[in-house]
């Protein structure tokens, strides 16, 4: 049973809850993270969420995301989820850095399920010739894209993408990093 860390409005941990029980029509604020992954050629990996996902199934989103476990450093959760979602071992990840430490959002899926997260945003580079091997329970498909093209597409057709992707791409700090690749 995967646990998430619940938070008050100031971001202080207040307890834990089961991940699958906490994501409802009244989801409390909790810790998460979002990660953007670049390959050696500067392409940005985006993922289409598996059709079996509880929230935003089949929607295109950032490379991967997840929740730090109670007592787990967020950077360690990023490494863990890269393995779980994309089959990438820790040795395949380089230059892990947080570019939006204070990002948070609340969004409601068409099913009524709410995401309500304090969600620092990370940028990661693939080391060497490592390639993703997506877990089909998490990821339907992936695609390497030009960051500027993704920004243009998210502005033109936001409904095609996860709401957190759209909100993250609206932040100039992330855009500067993504477009500077």
117 a known binding residue?
Answer: yes
Q: Where are the beta strands (DSSP E) in the chain?
A: 3-7, 13-18, 30-31, 33-38, 44-49, 60-61, 64-66, 93-100, 104-108, 114-118, 121-126, 139-145
174 φ, ψ (degrees, to nearest 5): -75, -45
The rounded distance, in Å, linking the Cα atoms of 64 and 78 is 9
167 a known binding residue?
Answer: no
- Read off the DSSP letter of residue 42: S
65 given a catalytic annotation = yes
Residue of 72, 75, 98, 117 with catalytic role: 117
Residue of 7, 65, 167, 168 with catalytic role: 65
30 a known binding residue?
Answer: yes
Give just the sign of the alpha carbon dihedral 171, 28, 161, 94: positive
179 a known binding residue?
Answer: no
C-alpha dist (Å) from residue 139 to 12, 28, 66, 100, 135: 31, 25, 13, 24, 6
98 given a catalytic annotation = no
Question: From the annotation, which residues make up the binding site?
Answer: 23, 30, 67, 85, 115, 117
Question: From the annotation, which residues make up the binding site for Mg(2+)?
Answer: 85
Cite the active site residues. 65, 117
Question: From the annotation, which residues make up the binding site for Mn(2+)?
Answer: 23, 30, 67, 115, 117
């Amino acid at each position: 049973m995967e646990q998430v860390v619940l938070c008050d409005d100031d971001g202080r941990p207040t307890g834990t809850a089961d991940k699958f029980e906490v994501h409802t029509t009244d989801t409390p604020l909790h810790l998460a993270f979002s990660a953007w992954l670049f390959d050696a050629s500067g392409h940005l990996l985006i993922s289409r969420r598996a059709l079996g996902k509880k929230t935003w199934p089949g929607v295109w989103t950032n490379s991967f995301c997840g929740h730090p476990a109670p007592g787990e450093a967020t950077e360690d959760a990023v490494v863990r989820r890269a393995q779980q979602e994309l089959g990438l071992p820790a040795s395949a990840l380089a230059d892990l850095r947080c570019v939006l430490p204070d990002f948070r959002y609340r969004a409601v899926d068409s099913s009524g399920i709410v995401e309500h997260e304090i969600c620092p945003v990370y940028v990661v580079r693939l080391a060497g010739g490592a390639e993703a091997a997506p877990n089909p329970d998490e990821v339907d498909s992936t695609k390497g894209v030009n960051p500027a093209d993704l920004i243009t597409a998210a502005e033109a057709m936001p409904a095609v993408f996860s709401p957190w992707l759209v909100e993250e791409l609206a932040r100039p700090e992330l855009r500067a990093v993504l477009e500077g690749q």
